Amino acid sequence: MPATSAINTNPLLNEFTTPYGVPPFDLIKDAHFKPAFDAAMIAHKAEIDSIANDPSAPSFSNTIEALDRAGAALNRVSAVFFNLTSANTNDTLEKISEEMAPILAKHYDYISMNDKLFAKVKQIWENKQNLGLDEEKTELLEKTYKSFVRNGALLTGKDKETISKINEELSVLTIKFGQNTLAEVNEFQLVVDNKDELKGLSDDLIAAAADAAKEAKMEGKWLFSLQNPSVMPFLQYAESRTLREKIWNAMQNKGNNANKNDNNDIVKKIASLRLQRANLLGYPTHADYVLEEQMAKNPGNVNKLLTDLWKPAIKKSQAEAQEIQAFIKTEGGNFTLAPYDWRYYAEKIRKQKYDLDENEIKQYFSLENVHQGVFGTVQKLFGLTFHERKDLPVYHPEVKAYEVKDADESLVGILYMDFHPRASKRGGAWMTSYSDQKMKDGKRIPPVISIVCNFTKPTGDTPALLTYDEVSTYFHEFGHALHGLLSNVNYNSLAGTNVPTDFVELPSQIMENWAAEPEVLKSFAKHHKTGEVMPDALIQKIKNAGTYGQGFATTEYLAASLLDMDYHTQTQVMEGNVQDFEKQRMSSRGLTDQIIPRYRSTYFNHIFSGGYSSGYYSYIWSEVLDSDAFEAFKSKGLFDKETAMAFRKNILERGGSADPMELYRRFRGAEPTIAPLLKKRGLN
């Protein structure tokens, strides 16, 4: 065991004594992580050995519940470390991450392939009918047993060694993939030194580019990056077709530049190792292995959903392409629509057809206003209130911490929020936790939850102004946060978002619906200069244009979902060229040359560095659920208390404590249908 003095001086190895048990970020140094991991793994191993060697007859209490409690120190260290490597990383943390990945993989394999421990779990599992377990205990037992089996507990010695080696290699490769993607984003710079080339861009985007150039010691120039708040509006508004093409090519070739950040070989290795592992465990493909534990159950069900949606989506996107090509011709353009033209001309057409300008909308969406809109919506629905706590330690000066209270003033949890891009943060938006909700001595221990985004930064005297998509993203991530915050289960491993991937997006995506409702918009969409509430006419324009561009949006998303399934339904080790594989799969489905998958292979972090392999379809699967679920609110009232409480009690509070479809049926009274989704996307 580590020396007591080491424990006393390393803040990660002590129970956090901060208010609410939040991480003491002000005390944690990079040098603390490696010794903390080492000590926490030793402690966890001792706990596991104690359970495995307990001479008492195995019981639910001394084995299953004990396993759920074990590893608290390692969970604490891991949560802080891996959240920092995503939201505020540096070279030291990246190096530790690569070093620790195979060590942690080996540590968890020691547990999942522990014959003595598994024998106890298996004995309890086989006797489950006689134990009188309630629903939540039954779910915990089932997930514990299946976790052992799915991690190789039934394999023989040689195969166990092979699985362990695969897990170690995958742990390194997935981290390296994400690091390469972040490096590609950070290393690209589009520098403009002629203001005439900025025509079409909004004043706030130009100001942000000037600020970025100044920070990079290029005063008097304009700097654009591959961060979403920079690249997307550039593609949408920049009149310079040459510069649009340049930034587009940089974006679509992330990880595909034959340099030190190249991800092509990593993609092949990851896909092949996942197949090899699935085969060893008795599954024909990695997708079969993953989907067995999801709502979808098997690749056939996923492919049916994606194919059913692909047909109307591709048809609509082809019609949109024809409309854009005709528009280009009317403007005197003598060229064929290219991918870097799509957003630019689609925005022009939208403005012409619906008299709707994204830059006009943004003036009503200052981050602070949206902030209050989200808080107000959640208070009306669930009675929650949010109180900023400036005394709580944070991991970056931009981060804010909030105390979340219920209607009766009881503490629900702590919420961190981190909104703007920086070189130390990976792209995208996500919710995570520093500690999940748990029970201790019959008392609920509140969770510590975090939302991390990459929204447009404020510039000069202008506040951060969000696009409509960013507003939706904020509501989306807040739905995830509610799932974590409101969790009220007995077991840590079933708390919050510890649910199947294709169910976890339901709480997030249903929240997006409120962002689009006029009643909600009028509560927070106020002009950042005048305070004027967004006019009814502008709200109506947004509504009128609601399904415009859904052919493109749905097609690029589905293309990425299908690409994910293509990699993970392979039955042979991947050989050949990744780019050729992707191109062949997309062209075989009739994907137009003007659209690429939302994420191409070499920067598809969701599936090659995140937890969504064979799971990117989850967003559209969950959208079937959320579209159907929101109908319950629309039929009874947006803020109907009874409906909101039913959603809270049956979905948000229950985490993974029961079968997800059963939870959904309890809320809705029936299984969902696809009709509301097709209507919402204008694909019916």
Residues assigned a catalytic role = 477
Alpha-carbon gap, residue 532 to 548, rounded angstroms: 27
Alpha-carbon gap, residue 623 to 616, rounded angstroms: 12
Count of helices and strands (H, E) across the chain: 28, 9
CA angle centred on 231, ends 173 and 239, rounded to 5°: 150
Residue type for position 225: S
What is the token pair recorded at 498? 């510890």
Helix (H) or strand (E) holding 223: strand 222-224
Between strands 448-452 and 411-418, the pairing is parallel
Alpha-carbon gap, residue 297 to 501, rounded angstroms: 12
DSSP state of 465: B
Alpha-carbon gap, residue 258 to 637, rounded angstroms: 55
Mark out the alpha helices in 331-357 (DSSP H runs).
Answer: 339-354
SS3 326: helix
Which position has the token pair 């991918």?
339
* Residues whose CB is less than 8 angstroms from the CB of residue 518 and which lie 6 or more positions away in sequence, other chains included: 536, 539, 543
CA angle centred on 234, ends 351 and 230, rounded to 5°: 125
What is the token pair recorded at 332? 């005197």
171 to each of 140, 178, 196, 641, how far by Cα in Å? Answer: 26, 11, 47, 45
Alpha-carbon gap, residue 420 to 427, rounded angstroms: 10
Q: Report CA Rg, the chain.
A: 25
142 to each of 62, 422, 436, 658, how far by Cα in Å? Answer: 16, 42, 20, 10
List residues bridging with 411 in a β-sheet. Answer: 405
Between strands 448-452 and 430-435, the pairing is antiparallel
Alpha-carbon gap, residue 189 to 420, rounded angstroms: 18
Neighbours of 647 (CB within 10 A): 23
The 3-state secondary structure of 355-411, one letter per residue: CCCHHHHHCCCEHHHHHHHHHHHHHHHHCCEEEECCCCCCCCCCCEEEEEECCCCCE
DSSP state of 682: T
* Residues whose CB is less than 8 angstroms from the CB of residue 189 and which lie 6 or more positions away in sequence, other chains included: 216, 223, 224, 225
SS3 431: strand
